[in-house]
Amino acid sequence: MKKIRPIPFLVIFLLLMSFAVAAYAFSEKEVEIIDNGRVNVISTHAATVGDLLEERGIKLIDADEVVPGVDTSLTNCGRVIIHRAFSVTVTADFATNSYQTQPVTVAEFLAANNIEVGQYDWVTPALDSMVDEDVPVVVSRITYRQTQTTQPIEPKTVRKEDSSLNSGQSKVVTAGKPGVLTITNLVTYKDGEAIAKQELNRTVTVAAQDEVLAVGTRQVISRGGKTYAYKDVMAMSATAYTHTGNKTYTGTTPRAGYTVAVDPKVIPLGTKLYVDGYGYAKAEDIGSAITGRKIDLFFNSEKECTDWGVRTVRVYILE
């Protein structure tokens, strides 16, 4: 029987090496790496995307994005895309900070960085716009508060005629008191600073009390240091007469500087008068020639009557 000669160790080693080299060559892959837009095609024996990045010394930060993921197996002619994060600054709550991010909406960016946005807060750029590394994000805290202020309501003056007071005189009957007007406003605050105020309503919380002022209506004249109240004044033609031996129409004895003859249709008998240039008088007599706006003044003598003549005078009808 023929003996089988053992295969030399060297031959086995060479065979194993050949298989290893073939396997290594077979495992080589061509991969396209696109890093932030820069394209590089390389050959690699890495098994996964993560292995490839480590092999090539490609460093990532948490916000960088790799497609496909780092645990994905590599295949020949594969493509690995690296989206590098960029920096965006945010100003909110009196502080400015920088964050790394991928291209997302402002709303997504704020949520990802745990920056809360209140119902009334203002955000620029708009929440649905995309973040931009050249455009900072600003969150303005908006709050509203109702405030109240008061202002006085000046009392009105109610004027009431008072015949017991002379014309030009007045008297406070009831003192006025100011009221209070309460104004409610809605104040808008931006980051704690008031930027707008809107009036909501006005309420009279204390009503004003009107001042009642009595205003004199009584007309007066001052003659010879005396004051006479009158209710009417007329310009009249005045003549003069003297004693006839008869009594007046009203049965009185005529007196100089007192008795006046009138037309009763114009001035009722018994009316007290003041005749400028003659004095205090009384309508006690009538005369056939005394009609309309005429009066006849009694004097003691013919000379006084002649001196008087005919004049136009003011006749005040006294109260």
Per the domain annotation, does 21 fall within a domain?
no
- The tens digit of pLDDT for each residue in 48-73 reads 999 999 999 999 998 999 999 999 98
Asked if the structure places residue 160 within a domain, the reply is yes
CATH number of the domain encompassing residue 60: 3.10.20.90
Regarding whether 34 and 72 lie in a shared domain, the answer is yes
Q: What is the largest CA-CA distance in the chain?
A: 209
Give the pLDDT confidence of 285-302 residue by residue, as tens digits: 999 999 999 999 999 999
- Let me know whether 231 and 280 are in one domain: yes
Q: Which of 189, 214, 239 is the last residue of a domain?
A: 214
pLDDT digits (tens, 9 = 90+) for 243-263: 999 999 999 999 999 999 999
> What's the rounded Cα separation, in Å, for the pair 77 and 69?
16
Residues 82-136 pLDDT 10s? 999 999 999 999 999 999 999 999 999 999 999 999 999 999 999 999 999 999 9
Residue 65, in any domain of the structure? yes
- The average pLDDT across 174-198 equals 96
Q: How far is CA 91 from CA 94, 105, 122, 185, 311, in A?
A: 7, 17, 12, 29, 99
Q: Is residue 189 assigned to a domain?
A: yes
Q: Given a cut of 70, is residue 209 above it in pLDDT?
A: yes
At residue 24, does pLDDT exceed 50?
no
Mean pLDDT of 15-28: 51
In this structure, which amino acid lies at residue 267?
I
pLDDT, tens digit, 9 for 90 and up, residues 131-182: 999 999 999 999 999 999 999 999 999 999 998 888 888 999 999 999 999 9
- pLDDT-based confidence at residue 23 (cuts at 50, 70, 90): very low
Residue 5 within any structural domain of the chain: no
Q: How many domains does the chain have?
A: 4
Residue 316 has pLDDT above 90, yes or no: yes
Look over the chain and give the mean of its residue pLDDT values, rounded to a whole number.
90
Q: Give the range among 3-12, 86-95, 211-220 with minimum mean pLDDT.
A: 3-12
> In angstroms, rounded to a whole number, what is the distance separating the alpha carbons of residues 85 and 60?
9
Same domain, yes or no: 42 and 120: no
pTM beyond 0.85: the answer is no
Segment 2-28 shows an average pLDDT of: 53
Determine, yes or no, domain membership for 135: yes
Question: Is residue 231 domain-shared with residue 274, that is, in the same domain?
Answer: yes
| 248 occurs within a structural domain | yes
Identify the band that residue 13 occupies on the pLDDT scale cut at 50, 70 and 90. Answer: low
Indicate whether 234 and 261 sit together in one domain.
yes
Domain carrying residue 176: 145-214
Q: Can you give the pLDDT at residue 74?
A: 86
Whether residues 78 and 164 share a domain: the answer is no
51 and 129 within one domain: no
Residue 7 has pLDDT above 80, yes or no: no
pLDDT at 22: 42
Q: What pLDDT is stored for residue 11 in this prediction?
A: 52
Domain boundary at 214, 239, 254, which?
A: 214
Question: What pLDDT shows up at residue 25?
Answer: 45
In a domain, 15, yes or no: no
Residue 295: give its domain's CATH number: 2.40.40.10
